[in-house]
Amino acid sequence: MQHPRIIRLGVDFGTTRTIVAALDHGNTPVIGFDTGDGDVVDAWPTLAATDGATWVFGPQAARRLHEPGWQGLRSFKRLLSGPEATADRVVPLGDHPTVGVLLTRFLAALREDLLTRSNLPGAAPDARLQVLAAVPAAASSTQRFLTMDAFRAAGFEVLGVRNEPTAAGVEYGRRHARTLNSKRERVLVYDLGGGTFDATVVHVGALPQAGDPRVQAHAGLEDLGGEDLDRALLDLALRALLRPEAALGALPAADRVRLLEHARQAKEAISPATRAVTVEVGAQLSEEGRAALGLDAEAVARVAVADFDQAVRPLVERSLALVDALLGGGGLDGAGVAGVYVVGGASSLPAVARHLREAFGRRVHRSPYPSAATAIGLAAALDDEGLGAPPLATPFGVFRERSEGRGVSFDLIFDPTAPLRDGEVVRRYRPAHNVGWFRFAACAEVDALGNPVGDLTPRGELRVPFDPRLRGAPVDAVPVARLSGARPLIEERYAWDADAGRVRVRFADLDSGWSTEHELALG
C-alpha cells in the first residue's frame, strides 16, 4: 500500500499576502500559484471577498472585487491582534463569521490551491501538508492559539509556530554567516510588512554554532506598514486629479479596496530607475464611485517618485527612531549586532533602502526575497531534525479558554526551570462545557504572565467528556456546548515519565469516580 506523500512547508500568513516555501531535498523554493488567467504569482493575496452569502479568498477574491455586489476585506490579519482579538470576534461582513472561522476558511482555500493550482513539488490530492507557521514576535496567546488552531482545522498538520523574526534570522544565518563572530552574534531584523513595522534583535550565535535564533528584544508599530505607503501614493494620485484623500470615505467599500490594491501594485513596481508612477484611478472605480469623485473611467494620475519619496520619508523616520530606541542609542556595535537584515514586502521600496543605507551603511543586508524571507526561513528550519526540542527542555502547557470562551490563555504545566514537586501537577475545577478540548504545546519560553513568547510546537490534542451522559462513546464529533445542570468536579493530574519521554495525564470526575488516562509523547 502506497502512503500519501509528506510535504513540508513554511507558511508566512502576512497582512497583504501569504507566502509559502517548501522544503525540497534541501532547497527552499517559493511556491507559485496559477491566477486563473495564465499568470503565475509567488504570493497568495491575503484577501477575502463576499457577496453576502458566499466567501472566496486569494486570487479568486481579487477577481471578484471587480464584480457588482461583492465586498472585499483586506488585512484581516489585524483582526487577530489587539485586546479585541478574541476567539468569537465577529467579522462585520457576509454571514458574520468569527475571526477563527474566517481564518480557517482562508487557509482551507490556500490548501486547496496548493494542491491543485500551484507548482508545489509532489502535490497530489492526498498529500499530507506539514507546516511551520509564523506569527509576529509580539503575538498574544490568543493569536498564537487561533493561528495554530485554524491551520489544523483547515487540514494542515502543524509542526510548530515560530516568531517571524526568528525565521528571518534562520535565513540570515544561511546567507551571511561570515558576518557573525564572538563579538557580533546578533542581527537586527527590520521588517516593514503590509500592515505593521517590527524591529527585532535576534541572537543567531557565532560560528560554528549559528542557526538557533532567539528573540532578545523587540519593538513594533501597529500603525505603520505597507498599507500606509499605499495610502500615501493614492493620496498623491487623488490630489493630482484634484480629489482629496477624504473623498475615499464617499466611495463604496469595494472601490476603496480596489484602489488600495492597485496603489500597492503600482508602488511595488517602483525600481531605482523609476521617475514617475502611473495610477489608473478611474479604471478601478464602479459607476457609483466615478460619480462620487466626478471622474471618468479614463482618469489617470502620474505621481513623481521624488514626491512619493518625500511623502513617505516621515514614515521611514518613525521606523528608524524605533530602531534607535531598541538599540539603546548605542548603535549596532553597542548592541553586538552584526548587521541589519531587511525583510517584508514594503521594505523593497527604493526610498526605504536609501534611508537605511544612510543610517547603517554597508551593514545593511536586504534579503534577495524580502517578501518571502520569513517563509524561506521557516522551510529552512524544517531541514533541521532538531525541530522537536528535547522533552521538557522547554515549557509545556495547554491552551484553555478564559472569560467564558471569549479569550484563550496558556496554562503552564511543566516549567523546566522550576522543581517538580512529587513528580505531578494537579488542576481541579468545575467545567463550563460538555466536552473538554485540550490543545497541548511546548514553547521556547514564557513571559512574566505565563504567556508563550517564543517558538510553539504542538504536543497532542485530547477531547474529554465532562458531561456524564457522553461517557462511554467517542466524543470527537460532539459539538462543544455550554454544560447545563450540575457541573462535576474535574481533576487533571499530570505526571512526567522521564524514561519514556512522555507525559501521562489522568482526568477524573471526583463526584462520580469516573476517570480516563492518556499519554502524550514529547520527543
Q: What's 61's domain CATH number?
A: 3.30.420.40
Which parts of the chain sit beneath pLDDT 50? 207-211, 385-386, 388-390
Q: Residues with Cβ < 8 Å from 228, sequence gap 6 or more?
A: 315
- Beta strands 407-414; 396-402: pairing state: antiparallel
The total of structural domains in the chain comes to 3
Does residue 374 belong to any structural domain of this protein? no
The reply to whether 213 falls in a domain is no
Range of the domain at 262: 226-310
Model pLDDT, residue 210: 45
Domain stops at, among 247, 276, 310: 310
Pairing of strands 435-443, 128-135: unpaired
Q: Does some domain include residue 403?
A: yes
What pLDDT is attached to residue 308?
93
Residue 83: the pLDDT is 66
Query: Could you tell me if 22 and 94 lie in one domain?
Result: yes
Same domain, 159 and 10: yes
145 and 273 belong to one structural domain: no
Q: Within a domain: residue 389?
A: no
Instruction: Give the relative orientation of helices 226-240 and 305-326 as an angle to the nearest 10 degrees.
Output: 150
Closest C-alpha to 455, from 9, 118, 137: 137
Residues 147 and 234 in one domain: no
Residue 373 forms part of a structural domain:
no
In this prediction, residue 389 carries a pLDDT of: 46
Q: Domain containing 448 — which CATH number?
A: 2.60.34
The residue from 265, 288, 310 where one domain ends is: 310
How many other β-carbons are positioned within 10 Å of the β-carbon of residue 136?
Answer: 25
Same domain flag for 155 and 231 = no
Q: Note whether 516 and 410 are same-domain residues.
A: yes
Is there a domain that residue 496 lies in? yes
Residue 49 lies in a domain: yes
Of the candidates 469, 418, 460, 422, the one whose C-alpha atom is nearest the C-alpha of residue 441 is: 460
Do residue 155 and residue 245 come from a single domain? no
Instruction: Answer yes or no: do 152 and 231 share one domain.
Output: no
Domain match, 157 and 63 both: yes
Instruction: Give the pLDDT score at 104.
Output: 95
Cβ–Cβ under 8 Å, residues 10 and 382: yes
- Structural domain ending residue among the three candidates 127, 145, 163: 163
Q: Does residue 257 form part of some domain?
A: yes
| pLDDT digit string, tens, across residues 408-425 | 788 988 887 665 555 688
**Is the C-alpha dihedral spanning 384, 389, 395, 397 positive or negative?**
positive
Grid coordinates belonging to 313: 520619508
